[in-house]
Structure 1
């Protein structure tokens, strides 16, 4: 095989994993769709004013739990407030490292989702794709070390789950 100086046979490719089916309880999967041995679940949710900004009215307060995660695995999933048709009203990524619950339930954490119309919220769903290892290295940014399969893009307001 003949190689010319300055030429490379390295072909960098970027792919995006397919978004998994959202649910109240999901098996967290890697970018290849393989289970990580971690289950993420929405424990409960409510509409109430955020204690730091009560003047902004009701927001979505929810508790989540990661079973099977340890201090080194640190998976993260997208959590979305949805309406009756499972259309996203607001989303954010939650990580197992945010689970700082009471001593009798240390795998549970809680956070807030800001939504424009909280009265439309019918539930909170989790998307099973692990978001913790997206280093952001793409072929465009770094053709030598970038590339590979990346987690799906986070859902946008109005996406159907």
Structure 2
């Protein structure tokens, strides 16, 4: 069906394509860190689950209407602090309002760079809109650094892959 010369050259062409990175998922692997134990105060971990020398803490929280949308009723207003991070860049962690069983009612990622106010105070504040604010028992932080944004194999087979933080926490997750 095909000339002998074409049949003998085909394996060589396939080998060149594979070695050049043109083959599907050849050598590209993604790994995802395990989600750490949530708490009010956590040591932030990198994608290898090692502490990075930064601590995050929920300083306080309360239910109150957001000043820009008071008609939407109570939301969770919380203050957080990062210890050991610098002002320009640093880690981010998921903050979640949870019920008594530690089921997330609403989450968002907060970054250390958002925490620095006037005079270098490493405290910031955020709002979480939750469907049932009366069920909020506490606000917890998840220790995994969410700021590490490396491309996945699916996004870039040649340069992607490697370790990634766990999927960000969301409503319904048990923390």
Would you call these one fold, judging by a TM-score over 0.5?
A: yes
**Root mean square deviation, CA, Å:** 1.6
Q: TM-score, normalised by structure 1?
A: 0.93
| Deviation string, structure 1 residues 13-38 (Cα, Å, up to 9, x no partner) | 01111000000000000000011100
Query: Aligned partners of 1:100 and 1:67: how far apart in 2?
Result: 11
Residues 1:6 and 2:21 aligned together:
no
Aligned residues: 158
Give the number of the structure whose alpha-carbon radius of gyration is greater: 2
Which has more helix, going by share of residues? 2
| Deviation string, structure 1 residues 91-111 (Cα, Å, up to 9, x no partner) | 0000001013343x6100001
**Structure 2 match to 1:127:** 142
**Structure 2 match to 1:44:** 60
Gap runs ≥5 in structure 2:
1-11
Gap runs ≥5 in structure 1:
none
Query: Aligned partners of 1:43 and 1:11: how far apart in 2?
Result: 44
Query: Aligned partners of 1:64 and 1:46: how far apart in 2?
Result: 12
Q: TM-score, normalised by structure 2?
A: 0.85
**Structure 2 match to 1:147:** 161
Do the aligned partners of residues 37 and 150 (structure 1) sit closer, same or farther apart at CA in structure 2, a change above 3 Å counting?
same
